[in-house]
Amino acid sequence: MTGRLVPPDFLWGAATSAFQSEGGLDVDGRGTSVWDVFAQRPGAIEDGADGSRACDSYRRWREDVALLAELGLGAYRFSVGWSRIVPEGTGRVEPRGLDHYERLVDALLAAGIEPVLTLNHWDMPQALMAAGGWAARDTAAAFAELTTAVAGRLADRVSWWVTQNEPWIVSLLGYQLGLHAPGVTDLRAAVAAGHHMLLAHGLGADVLHQYRGTRVGVALSLFPCEPASPSEDDAAAAWGSDGYVNRWYLDPLLAGGYPDDMRAHWERAVGPLDVVRDGDEAAIGGRSDFLGVNYYTRRVMAAAEAGDGRPFPWRVVPPREEVERTDAGWEVAPRSFGDLLTRLARDYPGTPLLVTENGGVFGDGPTHDGRVHDTRRTAFLRGHVAAMAEAMDAGADVRGYLHWSLLDNFEWAMGYRPRFGLVHVDYATGRRTVKDSGRYLAQVARTGGLPPVPGIAPFG
């Protein structure tokens, strides 16, 4: 596949988030975030790491913009640090935080790079936990305050806005299993958290749509759920898991309300869904100008009895066949990526799609020649872009592809061990080294084609 894959105005780019890359947690009036506090828990983060330095991008942001320009990428997804802008969660706005992001946006635009701005990428102010964080309805109103502050400064220059990043992951890991900040383990709180993040999207979108030319969406972590066998039981398990992971968020955003089958599942698990009040679904739906698609792998599902730690009758199982895996053990499944994009186009017609994250963990570092020959990531990238192009040929309206991540960075509870970047970061010095995969994406962005990866077949 070497011809032009996509339209000339397609957005090729890369993504980061504030807490994972910025560091500088104690400068310019920034408040404490839930991740600052969570990282202080013994054993919460691998090797006792935290985000105090990360990639030092709060200071080195000009270097990061220069890297994007060097690679010829036309878009950069980044997030604002909520605690930098509204340090106490509500009320006082810190102008130094807004000044920083204004400088970044202006530099991106000057370099011909489209900003894709995420408002909440998991780093809510710790002060909001006094009322329960996302489990509390008032946090949606606090998010609207953040949106108002950022939009007032930047909506005249930023067109693409992502309100929330991966509400299912926040609900699951942050409020159900306690593996991410804020470390809550309460299934009912998890349901409330997911709902309030969607409600906050609606409130934030209403603010942003007051500005001409803004496009607003949510970035969802979407996992195709495929049955482990041809049996009816496994097919039902896959459909149920799809409701839990995907449709519970897709349907209220794009199809008018929560799916009935998942309402019934949740009511069996946690009781009446009184957290969903009259008018909430109307306040969530009809406000998305696009859908952000974060894709990493698929889920292979088998039927199982509900029980302790498993509120629903399904479980994730390994694929029956041998599969390629990343260094994090995740299956490399580009065909499922293409199927997902095609399914979204079919089930939610008329919704533009923006691939806001796609990537894998591959631990290659600099070799004797000073370069990073991450051939497996390059093959991963090629396979997924090819699958995306095939889905577009089949009718999926995909407007851009933003690889996760521009930089190796702080990978939440896993610390600094996993490396997702197109650019290698030496954490001791902050030195950036463009990997071969970064050079490959640059070639794709420049030519619009998909050259072969020397010496290796693409994942498929």
- Of 23, 51, 46, which Cα lies nearest the Cα of 417? 46
Residues 6 or more apart in contact with residue 322 via CB below 8 angstroms? none
- Of 72, 61, 66, 71, which Cα lies nearest the Cα of 16? 61
**Residue 26 amino acid letter:** D
- Of 169, 167, 160, which Cα lies nearest the Cα of 143? 167
pLDDT at 4 (0 to 100): 78
Q: Fill in the DSSP letter of residue 33.
A: B
φ/ψ (deg, to 5) at 37: -70, -45
- Of 114, 80, 110, 109, which Cα lies nearest the Cα of 97? 80
Q: Over its length of 460 residues, how does the chain's per-residue pLDDT go in tens digits? A: 456 789 999 999 999 999 999 999 999 999 999 999 999 999 999 999 999 999 999 999 999 999 999 999 999 999 999 999 999 999 999 999 999 999 999 999 999 999 999 999 999 999 999 999 999 999 999 999 999 999 999 999 999 999 999 999 999 999 999 999 999 999 999 999 999 999 999 999 999 999 999 999 999 999 999 999 999 999 999 999 999 999 999 999 999 999 999 999 999 999 999 999 999 999 999 999 999 999 999 999 999 998 877 899 999 999 989 999 999 999 999 999 999 999 999 999 999 999 999 999 999 999 999 999 999 999 999 999 999 999 999 999 999 999 999 999 999 999 999 999 999 999 999 999 999 999 999 999 999 999 888 765 554 4
Q: What pairing do the DSSP bridges indicate for beta strands 423-426 and 160-165? A: unpaired
Give me the catalytic one of 145, 357, 390, 411: 357
Cβ atoms of 157 and 217 closer than 8 Å: no
How many residues does this entry show for the chain?
460
Q: Which two structure tokens, joined as six digits, stand for 382? A: 């090629």
pLDDT at 456 (0 to 100): 58
Q: Which two structure tokens, joined as six digits, stand for 279? A: 């008018």
Residues 6 or more apart in contact with residue 233 via CB below 8 angstroms? 303
φ/ψ (deg, to 5) at 13: -165, -165
pLDDT at 180 (0 to 100): 98
User: CA 178, CA 173: separation in Å to the nearest integer?
Assistant: 6
- Of 205, 192, 84, 208, which Cα lies nearest the Cα of 139? 192
pLDDT at 104 (0 to 100): 98
**378: helix, strand or coil:** helix
- Domains for the chain: give ranges and CATH numbers: 11-447 (3.20.20.80)
Neighbours of 418 (CB within 10 A): 20
Q: Which two structure tokens, joined as six digits, stand for 51? A: 């985000």
User: CA 394, CA 350: separation in Å to the nearest integer?
Assistant: 14
Q: Annotate 173-198 with b (16+ C-beta within 10 A) or e (fewer).
A: bbbbebebbbbbeeebbbbbbbbbbb
Q: Is 357 annotated in the active site?
A: yes
Give me the catalytic one of 145, 166, 281, 390: 166
pTM for the predicted model, two decimal places: 0.97
